[in-house]
């Protein structure tokens, strides 16, 4: 005969909480030339992201904690950082999906100079982006819009998704060791225009990326593809640019 259970009923609408340690790499050039780790013990909920934990730390524990964030919805790309050793967006990383039984490490993305705590100097990254001429180049002055077929648009659809978070570029071992390398993000954004049927600047961009610090520095480690929070096939885009240099735009 079945017996009734004595388990307490789950209260509907209540989100369970848990305690977790957030281990942040701190750096303040006004205090020390060396970075240090600092642990913060916080109570979070199953719906919270790493960004929520950083906000809680800054608002309730240490107001000096410094990091970038804006939209908090995975669109602006400003809160890219290394979480448990991997490049991610803090606003898209659910804490419950990580191992909450161990400290969750948060540190700045690699390959760019750290200014304070989790904030890095993005100027070299943006300069590489500007160098590949990320805009439509067309000499004609049409009287109406430039038409494009669905197939032509699909050719570069994947690389239109880039949000310039730098997660791909700063996951690249070549970028870590070679400050002159354009990096995956710049190449992805060049790809977006190189394969746009309305654009007339493909040869200009291909010449730029044919430089010794261009696409040929890529070692195809796939770190960039794994790191992209938008799911862009970054390594494939780099390979297609290489092919375009050798065989022309198809």
Q: Report pTM.
A: 0.90
Do 115 and 162 lie in a common domain?
no
pLDDT tens column, 121-135? 999 999 999 999 999
Do 237 and 153 lie in a common domain?
yes
Do 194 and 133 lie in a common domain?
yes
User: Residue 11: pLDDT above 80?
Assistant: no
223, two tokens: 């770190």
pLDDT (0 to 100) of residue 250: 63
Domain extent for 78: 17-120
Do 159 and 53 lie in a common domain?
no
Residue 8 resides in a domain: no
Assign residue 66 the CATH number of its domain: 3.10.20.30
Dihedral angle sign, alpha carbons of residues 134, 138, 139, 143:
negative
pLDDT tens column, 76-132? 999 999 999 999 999 999 999 999 999 999 999 999 999 999 999 999 999 999 999
Domain count, the chain: 2
User: Residue 8: pLDDT above 90?
Assistant: no
Residues near 129 by beta carbon (within 8 Å), at least 6 away in sequence: 164, 185, 186, 189
Assign residue 223 the CATH number of its domain: 1.10.1060.10
pLDDT (0 to 100) of residue 2: 45
Residue 5 resides in a domain: no
Do 67 and 133 lie in a common domain?
no
Average of per-residue pLDDT across 17-26: 97
- Determine phi and psi for 210, rounding to 5 degrees: -85, -5
Do 132 and 243 lie in a common domain?
yes
Dihedral angle sign, alpha carbons of residues 140, 144, 149, 155:
positive
């Amino acid at each position: 005969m079945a017996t009734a259970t004595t388990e307490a009923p789950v209260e509907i609408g209540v989100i369970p909480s848990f305690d977790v340690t957030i281990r942040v790499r701190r750096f303040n050039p006004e205090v020390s030339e060396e970075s240090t780790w600092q642990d913060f013990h916080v109570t979070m909920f199953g719906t919270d992201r790493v960004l929520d934990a950083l906000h809680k730390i800054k608002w309730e524990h240490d107001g000096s904690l410094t990091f970038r964030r804006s939209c908090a919805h995975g669109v602006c790309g400003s809160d890219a950082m290394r979480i448990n050793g991997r490049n991610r967006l803090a606003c898209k990383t659910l804490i419950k999906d990580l191992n909450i039984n161990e400290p969750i490490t948060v540190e700045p993305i690699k390959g760019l100079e750290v200014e304070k705590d989790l904030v890095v100097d993005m100027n070299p990254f943006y300069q590489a982006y500007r160098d590949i001429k990320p805009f439509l180049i067309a000499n004609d002055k049409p009287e109406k819009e430039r038409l494009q077929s669905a197939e032509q648009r699909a050719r570069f659809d994947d690389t239109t998704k880039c949000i310039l978070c730098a997660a791909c570029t700063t996951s690249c071992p070549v970028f870590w060791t070679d400050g002159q390398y354009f990096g995956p993000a710049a190449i992805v954004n060049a790809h977006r225009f190189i394969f746009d049927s309305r654009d007339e600047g493909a040869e200009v961009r291909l010449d730029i990326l044919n430089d010794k610090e261009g696409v040929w520095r890529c070692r195809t480690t796939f770190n960039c593809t794994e790191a992209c929070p938008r799911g862009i096939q970054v390594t494939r885009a780099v390979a297609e640019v290489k092919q375009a240099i050798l065989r022309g735009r198809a």
